[in-house]
Amino acid sequence: MGKVKLAVVYYSKTGINTQLAKWAAEAAEEAGAEVRLLKVQELAPQSVIDSDPGWKSNQEATVEIPEASSSDLDWADAVIFSSPTRFGAMASQMKQFLDIQGGLWAEGKLANKVVSAMSSAQNPHGGQEATVKNIYTVMMHWGAIIASPGYTDASVFKAGGNPYGTTVTQGQDGKMVEDVEDAVKHQAKRTVEVASWIKAGRN
């Protein structure tokens, strides 16, 4: 059957979603998947990024992470998305990446991908769940198969109990408030597991 091919596609301004994506990629590799860790294209002007120390620092720290492309989605059996919350929805950088996949969608190449999503916000009720469900709405249009974590592991409860996808609060110090590493890794391994079932069934 071969390994499950997983793309972890994220956008991050200050590094929170970079870390979520890295944990997901690490766990997926441990689960036996072939993984591509990918960031979406930055849309903000460089002058704006340079004026924000956290934003600039994250950009510099992730310069070697390749940008996601349509070919990565075509290659993948499964995709995990991670995006910060912007007014209750995904960041425009992530939305733009999804918006330009019309060609793959029209060819039916996005159907039956196994997908899962994660998010962050500045406070616990700042739209984190809405952002994950916002991503899932797009996935429904693709005909993708959503692998939400549900309550399938104790780590979900430890991270705050979000059944849609792991979410985390960014504190005033720029760091994560909740302990979500185990939940992210469980979600990634579950995504790989579900994708392996789909892959085996299709073969």
Mean pLDDT of 25-43: 97
Q: What is the pLDDT of residue 61?
A: 94
Which of 125, 129, 138 minimizes the C-alpha distance to 167?
A: 129
Residue 203 CA to residue 198 CA, distance in Å, equals 9
State yes or no: pLDDT of 53 exceeds 80: yes
| Residue 34 pLDDT grade (very low, low, confident, very high; cuts 50, 70, 90) | very high
* Percentage of residues of the chain with pLDDT beyond 90: 91
Averaged pLDDT of the chain: 95
With contact defined as beta carbons under 8 Å apart, do 116 and 186 qualify? no
Mean pLDDT of 119-144: 94
State yes or no: pLDDT of 203 exceeds 70: no
Domains with residue ranges and CATH for the chain: 5-202 (3.40.50.360)
Residue 175 CA to residue 171 CA, distance in Å, equals 5
Residue-wise pLDDT tens digits, 73-110: 999 999 999 999 999 999 999 999 999 999 999 999 99
Which of 48, 45, 50, 36 minimizes the C-alpha distance to 7?
A: 36
Residue 21 CA to residue 140 CA, distance in Å, equals 22
Instruction: Report in angstroms the alpha-carbon separations of 25 from 38, 51, 134, 187, 192.
Output: 10, 30, 22, 11, 11
- The residues facing 114 across adjacent strands are 78, 145
Mean pLDDT of 184-200: 96
* Percentage of residues of the chain with pLDDT beyond 70: 99
Mean pLDDT of 5-9: 98
* pTM for this model (two decimals): 0.96
